[in-house]
Amino acid sequence: MVERSDPVRVVRVRSERDLGLALREARRSRGLTQADLAEQIGIERAYLAALEAGRSTRLVGHLLRSFRRLGVNVTISWDVSDKRSESNDD
């Protein structure tokens, strides 16, 4: 069993809005702007802003509805105190 000394934030995702809010919170916890993260992952800042606002792609909506229909809980977690940013994660 691995012991964790850093606090972990866990968010249950029930909607596109929940997913967007989790994305925004995680980005901010890393000290990144929307422009920073958008550049690092190769998307437009406006698209990232739309994702954070819960205006997701149809694919995300379909996935979340499918999980809900199947009774699957979707959660996201991250280390709260970790302010590192990964510049080459694909």
Can you give the CATH number for the domain in which 42 is found?
Answer: 1.10.260.40
77: left (phi over 0), alpha (psi -120 to 50) or beta: beta
Q: Which residue bears the tokens 């280390």? A: 79
Encoding tokens for residue 14? 């029930």
Residues 6+ apart with CB under 8 A from 12: 18, 73, 74, 75
- Range(s) of the domain holding residue 29: 8-79
Q: Is residue 3 included in any domain, yes or no? A: no
Would you say residue 61 has pLDDT above 70?
yes
Encoding tokens for residue 76? 């996201």
Encoding tokens for residue 38? 């958008």
C-alpha distances in angstroms, 13 versus 31, 53, 72?
22, 14, 10
Number of domains in the chain: 1
pLDDT per position as a tens digit, 4-13: 566 889 999 9
pLDDT per position as a tens digit, 42-59: 999 999 999 999 986 788
Average pLDDT, the chain: 85
Q: Is residue 1 included in any domain, yes or no? A: no
Q: Is residue 29 included in any domain, yes or no? A: yes
